Chains A and B, each alone.
Chain A
């Protein structure tokens, strides 16, 4: 099977879906001849033309509002937000509007639209090219939120998002775009929304994570083998709806839960995962639920030493693993 990067998988998924469905269009800043700032749409304008790969004015609210209007009039738009840090002007059109279209019209209208949002740090992005913005969307009934971390998952989940008849937010961690390679079949396939996956089976504890932290957690789990600790790593993949069954099954089986995230911990995905484990696994746990994440600061300093201190790392995760294993 060919090996591809995350960004190649994303591009391939969009290309396949554009070929499958004439109603699919792409909108965003620099998605045309520039091919997107991360080159996710590189070459798509050559194949599909500027009517289907639309360079928009630099205005996120209208990118998402126009996508929503096109979606309720027979198109299947995919909007690219250049950086997650720039999505705030569009929150009204996404959280306020798109999420409620089906419910608020009693099913007369649906909004089959996908929003791709490159997020996350560790790329020397400073305060405005590093943010993790998942919680706001994941808190919103009516939106689905996926955060694939591997090339295989990125291609399959994006395809599902595009084919879904309701709005789906696709969070792609910028650091994974070229860092992470993996086997990806050439043809089309989909991965269901709402299903987590065990990326590394283990018996002593469960790490629950997503995004870039999946890869750091897998590295830490390998390092822990030397200490005789067998760590299971569960990749959430979808942040709304969370796969509560998979979380509870793994945590109950291993008896210890370590939640690893790059987003600041207060009122976060980790908070919800912790609540699920608390509600469902209380009598199966033999240690307190543990969370590691960055400090409660605006993410994240541009200065390299401070950025490194802010981000969780495989070493920090290993320390948490060792401490939890001793309980």
Chain B
């Protein structure tokens, strides 16, 4: 969580320096992402993430350098070889992927991934993340309906920060709780405080157990705060009041969790400072390393085309112009 926060802050700094073209922040979502992924098994489960899953990626074993390569679009970027926005593509080690920027497309895909596991007799669980904005899309309804019909081993995990860019929750839905929609699809929906790691972890464990047992999907709605604007291109003071921004900062999950750990005597103030110092050091090392790296070569833009398109005449001509045999 702390590493995620410092790395996230660094990415925004790199954006202001003109080095990172775009970033969406996970600040405020860290606790829920750590607690949720901890309840899963990265050796066999599937993760369909969306663009705010910065902390989840770190928690599932992505190195800070790998994350930074995404934001700085560097050569060894692991998800898409820097073809896509940060956090998009597919992870080379964990079955974690995010094909596109288009909101909610991952939900029907998650139902398909889970369907495949059910047909294969695997006990793997598919967990698909989305924001409250995605809940308005037709794909969300179609995916939950399909998963409910087939009792698929999938967890629909909504990180509800109450804003779809600038549109507040009351303009997105006419109900109080997104989780209540699960009843319409024939599976349970639960609402948890996304700053509470124990609550999120327990809710996810229950959903994982239910899915592995073949009992079907669960919808989890974790209420979180989006501490920063939607992305580096947004300015949330245009649509959030000063009181609202002040109020949500009281729900910073890192402060809540470290205060709790210190209060209960599980860590000392000094240990907490040590955690922060180590995270800062790690971020500095990663920044220095990745900042010095190269962009991918132009010729690599012709790699990994689909079977039928790779020999397209136009591409042959472009490659010839580059003079290589790429």
Contact = CB atoms under 8 A, between A and B. Distances in A.
A69 B112 contact: yes
A74 interface: yes
B146 A105 contact: no
A236 to B, nearest CB: 14
B88 interface: yes
Interface stretch (B66-74, B165-173, B298-306): B298-306
Interface stretch (A51-59, A198-206, A257-265): A51-59
Contact of A107 (B46, B115, B304): B304
Contacts of B309: 141-142, 144, 241
A104 B146 contact: no
A193 B69 CA distance: 37
A108 B108 contact: no
The 5 A-B pairs with the shortest beta carbon distances in the complex, nearest first, are A69-B112, A65-B108, A62-B142, A105-B90, A69-B109
A244 B315 CA distance: 14
Interface residues of A, number: 51
Nearest to B115: A70
A167 B116 contact: no
Interface in A166-203: 166-168, 193-194
Interface string B91-132: 110000101101001011111111111011000000000000
Contacts of B83: 103-104, 106
B89 A104 contact: yes
B99 A61 contact: no
Interface centre among B90, B99, B311 (most CB of A within 10 A): B99
Contacts of A167: 306
7 contacts: A65-B143, A75-B116, A101-B99, A107-B303, A109-B90, A166-B306, A168-B308
A309 B204 CA distance: 62
Contacts of A194: 308
A193 B310 CA distance: 13
A99 B309 CA distance: 11
Given A93-B109, A164-B307, A241-B309, 5 more contacts: A56-B146, A65-B107, A65-B108, A68-B112, A106-B303
Contacts of A298: none
A155 interface: no
Interface of A: 25, 51-52, 56-57, 59, 61-62, 64-75, 77, 89, 92-93, 96-97, 99-109, 141-144, 164-168, 193-194, 240-241, 244
Given A100-B99, A104-B80, A66 B306 contact: no
B121 to A, nearest CB: 11
A324 B115 CA distance: 55
Question: By DSSP majority rule, is chain B's interface helix, strand, loop, or mixed?
Answer: mixed
Contacts of A57: 142, 145-146, 149
Contacts of B84: 104
Nearest to B92: A108
Contact of A62 (B80, B90, B143): B143
A89 B146 contact: no
Interface residues on B, range: 35 or more
Nearest to A65: B108
Contacts, number: 160
B145 A59 contact: yes
Nearest to B112: A69
Contacts of B313: 241, 244
A62 B111 contact: yes
Nearest to B117: A73
A51 B116 CA distance: 10
A52 B143 CA distance: 19
Nearest to B48: A69
A75 B102 contact: no
B323 interface: no
B108 A93 contact: yes
Contact of B142 (A65, A107, A193): A65
Interface in B137-152: 138-139, 142-143, 145-146, 149
A236 B303 CA distance: 27
B312 interface: yes
Contacts of A62: 108, 111, 139, 142-143, 145-146
A116 B76 CA distance: 38
Nearest to B139: A61
A97 B108 CA distance: 11
A184 B143 CA distance: 39
Contacts of B113: 69-70, 72-73
B304 A92 contact: no
A61 B142 contact: yes
B203 interface: no
A144 B305 CA distance: 12
Given A73-B117, A101-B99, A66 B90 contact: no
A75 B108 CA distance: 15
A105 B108 contact: no
Contacts of B306: 99, 102-103, 141-144, 166-167
B323 to A, nearest CB: 22
B307 A59 contact: no
Nearest to A143: B306
B59 interface: no
